[in-house]
Structure 1
Amino acid sequence: MSGTNYVLEEREGDVVLLTLNAPERRNAISTFADCDAVVDACGRVNRDRTVRCVILTGAGSAFCSGGDLKAMRDKRGIMEGSHADLRENYRRGVQRMAQALYDCDAPTIAAVNGPAIGLGLDVANMCDIRIASEKASFAESFIKVGIVPGDGGAWLLPRVVGMSMALEMSFTGEALDAQAALAARLVSRVVPEGELLPAARDLARRIAANPPDALRMTKRLLREGQYMRFSSLLELSAAYQALAHSTDDHKEAVNAMLEKRRPTFTGR
């Protein structure tokens, strides 16, 4: 296991497990160092084309409790300074982290082991897929402390649960339990507490069994498709398809299917 104090990094084959590691503060994010740790981990994944899937989870009983309320009260870390300072701090800190995690090239799974509150919910929504423990809960709770989503949550949440539910969650700040989150399509499945990481690893392995370049291009197409015109997406799809057809992994996939055997992908 490697990584910084805030993000522990563990690799198992083609899958990387990232663990937010500040259980004493329920994995709250309060410093530029916390944000930099996530940015750096995403950078390592993007530079390593052998990584085929990433799992993000939290140490201890929480996934991520959001911003550090004590740091907010005491005006420390990201919360320090004037109005102008705070604006720049958000850009340098949580927004830079949000962009890095959302833009991570490899498919990402949030294994939500406990409360995902405020920024913590938005961190989960920065991932491609969310699965939850029965102990998980979810709240877009910025309104409860008199602030707004400063990390991109106002863009992310409606794309995950739809505008009506996003507005209800944002206006009330109230939490959803795991089953309510499943009904709202905030998560794709709920599993017993002790089965969360095994379920996440199983899903990651099934994703990682596919050609890595095609995985990354598929993710990018789906992400770009959220805001591109259809005609523009078709152009991008044609370009990516031409690239995919030229890979050794495409040839291997076709041959393996015709020969009724398991393929071996090399990322070439």
Structure 2
Amino acid sequence: MSHPNDPILIERRGHVALLTLNRPATRNALDGEELFAAFETVFARLNEDLDIRAAVLTGAGTAFCSGGNVAEMRDRQGMFGGSPEQIVANYRAGIQRIPRAFQTLHVPIIAAVNGPAMGAGNDLACMCDIRIASSNARFAESFVKVGIVPGDGGCWFLPRIVGLGKASELAFTGDTIDADEALRIGLVTRVAPPESLLDEAFALAHRIAANPPQVLRWTKQLLQQARDASLDEALDQAGQFQGLAHHTADHTEAVASFFEKRPAVFSGR
């Protein structure tokens, strides 16, 4: 599904897609048009492939994602070059395309954080629906350490996961936390030994993928919308999806398998 030099590798395992950030030389830094476009292209492909029911995102090499390219910051190149007004435009045309791409992704996605997730790398993990971490993982909302703000939406994502108080502590201090602390504060849902991280991620992804694919996509959409919707708005949208769900073949199969005490086989119809 992908070329060895692609910035994001895609490997299909049944109904699950493994996405690997493929820039180990830069510890999977988030920079460059090729990578920004890759997120958009890969997610569009997953949305179109109704046989894909879940995805796992991890990093090649020893890091999950080192965040922005600090060398380019120093040299005022790439996204970091130009006047303040130009930098606003650079961010919009650059790294901010990643969170916007995540908002369009229809399938559940799990971050398998295999190593450091720093700055924008931490935010990248937060863009995923679920995060599990290797015991080697480290996390930091470290933008203040290089004298900038989370320009990729971190101040929107992080409080929704760990709460405003803990998000404020992490963003104001730039402190690095280990995997156990990330688990304690709810940034990740589990910690695994490095050698079994992907196995655990796939076990979870396959449990998700065992469910009706269209219902999974609708449920993800409801969870996304509910972050900012009123209760009435959330109920209205849930009702719309529920009306459709009750008329799917997968709903009929799910109910039949319940009464017949057998595993369900879902078709996506």
Give a deviation string over 1:132-172, Cα, whole Å, max 9, x none.
Answer: 00000100000000000001100000000000100000000
1:144 equivalent in structure 2:
145
2:8 equivalent in structure 1:
7
Structure 1: stretches of 5+ with no match in the other structure: none
**Distance in 1 of aligned mates of 2:145 and 2:33:** 24
1:105 equivalent in structure 2:
106
Secondary structure of the 2:133 match is: strand
Aligned-pair CA distance for 1:82: 2.4
1:252 equivalent in structure 2:
253
Give a deviation string over 1:85-142, Cα, whole Å, max 9, x none.
Answer: 2111111111111111233100000000000000000000000000000000100000
**Distance in 2 of aligned mates of 1:233 and 1:207:** 23
Which AA in structure 2 matches 1:250? H
How do 1:1-268 residues align onto structure 2 when only pairs under 5 Å count?
1-2=1-2, 5-268=6-269
Which AA in structure 2 matches 1:73? R
Secondary structure of the 2:111 match is: strand
Which AA in structure 1 matches 2:76? K
C-alpha RMSD of matched pairs (Å): 1.0
Structure 2: stretches of 5+ with no match in the other structure: none
TM-score (norm 1): 0.98
Which AA in structure 2 matches 1:239? Q
**Distance in 2 of aligned mates of 1:266 and 1:84:** 50
- 8 Å CA contact 2:31–2:95 kept in 1: the answer is no
Which AA in structure 2 matches 1:2? S
Which AA in structure 2 matches 1:259? E
Deviates more, 1:82-91 or 1:107-116: 82-91
**Distance in 1 of aligned mates of 2:181 and 2:93:** 34
Deviates more, 1:127-136 or 1:81-90: 81-90
- 8 Å CA contact 1:32–1:78 kept in 2: the answer is no
Secondary structure of the 1:94 match is: coil
Give a deviation string over 1:53-100, Cα, whole Å, max 9, x none.
Answer: 010000000000000111111222222322222111111111111111
- 8 Å CA contact 1:133–1:192 kept in 2: the answer is yes
**Distance in 1 of aligned mates of 2:158 and 2:49:** 29
Which AA in structure 2 matches 1:249? D
**Distance in 2 of aligned mates of 1:49 and 1:94:** 27
Aligned-pair CA distance for 1:263: 1.0
- 8 Å CA contact 1:98–1:152 kept in 2: the answer is yes
Query: CA, structure 1 residues 102+116, in 2 after alignment: closer, same or farther (shift >3 Å)?
Result: farther
- 8 Å CA contact 1:102–1:127 kept in 2: the answer is no
Secondary structure of the 1:250 match is: helix
**Distance in 1 of aligned mates of 2:22 and 2:115:** 13
TM-score (norm 2): 0.97
Deviates more, 1:127-136 or 1:5-14: 5-14
- Identity between Structure 1 and Structure 2 (%): 51
Secondary structure of the 2:51 match is: coil
